[in-house]
Amino acid sequence: MGGNRTVGIGMDYSPTSKLAVQWTVDNLVRSGDRIVLIHVHSGKGDPAQKQLWDDKGTPLIPLDEFKAMNLPVQYGINPDMEVLDILETASKTKQVTVVAKIYWGDPREKLCNAVDDLKLDSLVVGSRGLGAIKRVLLGSVSNYVVSHATCPVTVVKGSK
């Protein structure tokens, strides 16, 4: 049975966000689905790009273009080629569409905004596994998103 869902993945290229990509490809997406890599960061890269796309984020960037762009200079993002290879393989073998979108600001708020903006059917995020004290002091993006997103959220935890 084919899909036509839009699945977002919160991406910061941490080990747990890489696990979130692999988990999504292995367990969630099916032919016809669309994966949106959602990057949220603050102020790095070309200030003109940030100013241009600050409110609603960049337009959707197809995976091929995303891989070819000079992202560190333009947007302050250093993509992990392993993650992009996993997504490219999924695109070919599972016939899923993969795009990226970049936001600036607080990751908790921007991920929740992305759910509505992109009309996500599901969102997958990694968890850094903060202890109770650090979670209180720093806040947990995954906890916030689970509580505030308007779609189902899957939190992928790394191994200890």
Look at the block and give the residue holding tokens 């908790």: 108
Share of the chain above pLDDT 90, in %: 52
| Average pLDDT of the residues in 82-88 | 95
Is-above-0.75 flag for pTM?
yes
Between 34 and 15, where is the model more confident? 34
Domain over 6-157 is classified CATH 3.40.50.620: yes
According to the model, what pLDDT value does residue 77 have?
A: 81
Contacts of 132 (CB under 8 A, 6+ apart): none
| pLDDT band at residue 78 using 50, 70 and 90 as cut-offs | confident
Sign of CA dihedral 146, 22, 24, 6: positive
User: Regarding predicted confidence, which is higher, 10 or 49?
Assistant: 10
Q: Calculate the dihedral angle through the C-alpha atoms of 42, 46, 52, 53, rounding to the nearest 10 degrees.
A: -40
- What average pLDDT does the chain have? 84
Sequence-ordered list of residues with C-beta below 8 angstroms from that of 32, at least 6 positions apart, any chain: 2, 3, 4, 95, 96
- What is the pLDDT, as a whole number, of residue 45? 55
Tokens matching residue 56: 């609603």
**pLDDT 10s digits, 120-152:** 999 999 886 554 444 443 347 888 899 999 999
Between 27-31, 34-38, 70-74, 122-126, the lowest mean confidence (pLDDT) is in 70-74
